[in-house]
Amino acid sequence: MCFQKYKSKLKQLNLPSYSFRISGKEGSEMIFDPLRKRWVKLTPEEWVRQNFIQYLIHEGRYPAGLMAIEMLFQYNNMKKRIDILVHDRKGKPVMIVECKSPDVNISDFCEDKVYDQIGEYNLEYKVPYAIVTNGMVNYAFKYNAESKHYEHLMEIPPYEDLIAGM
């Protein structure tokens, strides 16, 4: 089905516009995920994830083949999923991206559980970079090993800068 048919129903994000394959009836729309190579339910969070994947590929020059989507791992006997996990060219995880619905406020770093999630995920993967996005605002962080805290970055680093800064 035509993406234009659905475009007016989807929230306009603060990201460049990309083209997507969307199908299904109203209320049960599906979007094709080119990285997982399958159709997935089109939720507000999935809309952000698909747009942000395209942003990383087209604007940041991140290789699509070095991104994994919804990586499953165990934390405190609970199954958790990382929205986007970026690897370096040797296959080592280097960045976690947590995607939220456009309606979720992600600007309160101290109070928001989103940032706790990033910390939990980093216990498993120990990545130097993290991004939190709701498609409206994006926050990028780099882990400081000395202070053992993430430091806010002013912009999302292009892939080459990301792997060079490790």
Distance CA 99, CA 44 (A): 10
Q: Is 96 exposed, middle or buried (0-12, 13-18, 19+ CB in 10 A)?
A: buried
pLDDT of residue 150: 80
Distances, alpha carbon 92 to alpha carbons 66, 86, 89, 102, 156, in Å: 9, 8, 7, 30, 19
Residue among 121, 122, 155 at smallest CA distance from 138: 155
pLDDT of residue 60: 97
Half-sphere CA count of 141, side-chain side, radius 13 A: 21
Which residue matches tokens 């791992």?
A: 73
- 63-164 is a CATH 3.90.1570.30 domain: yes
Residue among 157, 89, 149 at smallest CA distance from 119: 149
Model confidence, pTM:
0.87
pLDDT of residue 144: 81
pLDDT of residue 147: 82
pLDDT tens track, the chain, 166 positions: 455 555 556 889 999 999 999 998 777 899 999 999 999 999 999 999 999 999 999 999 999 999 999 877 776 777 878 899 999 999 999 999 999 999 988 886 545 565 666 676 676 778 899 999 999 999 999 988 788 778 889 999 999 999 987 6
pLDDT of residue 28: 84
pLDDT of residue 9: 67
Where in the chain are the domains?
63-164
